[in-house]
């Protein structure tokens, strides 16, 4: 089956620093990748959708200058949280979908803690 990996699985950083999270599709070409954020006991919240080679489409209320998304290849997308603050602490999950696929395949998630 389709496998999506995320790295790192958890990260602790200091307030004001930037953190990069990688999302890779290991055995298929992901034409579309999605980035979600999930706070404790809450549902998934879509942050942005990115198609390979084009700019990401951000959901309302998500700051594109703070959450930089790059989908430069069919197997890799990155999310960079810039100038992180404690309120950015959350579980970040990516998912990927192939060109002719109806299913989104989720990565294992990255738990970010900003101190």
Partner 1 sequence: GQNIDQPTEMTATEGAIVQINCTYQTSGFNGLFWYQQHAGEAPTFLSYNVLDGLEEKGRFSSFLSRSKGYSYLLLKELQMKDSASYLCAVRDSNYQLIWGAGTKLIIKP
**Is residue 105 close enough to count as binding partner 1 by CB under 8 A?**
yes
Question: Which residue's CB is nearer to partner 1, number 75 or number 110?
Answer: 110
**Is residue 54 close enough to count as binding partner 1 by CB under 8 A?**
no
Smallest distance from the beta carbon of 103 to partner 1, in angstroms?
6
95 near 36, Cβ under 8 Å? yes
Smallest distance from the beta carbon of 42 to partner 1, in angstroms?
7
Helix, coil or strand: residue 87: helix
Peptide bond into 8 cis (omega under 30): yes
**Is residue 44 close enough to count as binding partner 1 by CB under 8 A?**
yes
Residues binding partner 1: number (CB under 8 A): 18
How far from the centroid of its chain's Cα atoms is residue 16's Cα?
A: 19
How far from the centroid of its chain's Cα atoms is residue 25's Cα?
A: 12
Question: Which residue's CB is nearer to partner 1, number 84 or number 107?
Answer: 107
Q: Which of 8, 34, 29 is nearest to 94 (CA)?
A: 34
Task: Pick the binder of partner 1 from 75, 107, 112, 114 (CB under 8 A).
Answer: 107
97 near 49, Cβ under 8 Å? no
- Residues near partner 1, by CB under 8 A: 34, 42-46, 49, 91, 93, 102-109, 111
């Amino acid at each position: 089956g389709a496998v999506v990996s995320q790295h790192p699985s958890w990260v602790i950083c200091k307030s004001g620093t930037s953190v990069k999270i990688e999302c890779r599709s290991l055995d298929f070409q992901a034409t579309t990748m999605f980035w979600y954020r999930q706070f404790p006991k809450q549902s998934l919240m879509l942050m942005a959708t990115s198609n390979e080679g084009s700019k990401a489409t951000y959901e309302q209320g998500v700051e594109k200058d703070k959450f930089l998304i790059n989908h430069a290849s069919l197997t890799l997308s990155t999310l960079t949280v810039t100038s992180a603050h404690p309120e950015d602490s959350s579980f970040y999950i990516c998912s990927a979908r192939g060109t002719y696929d109806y299913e989104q395949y989720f990565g294992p998630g990255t738990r970010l803690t900003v101190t």
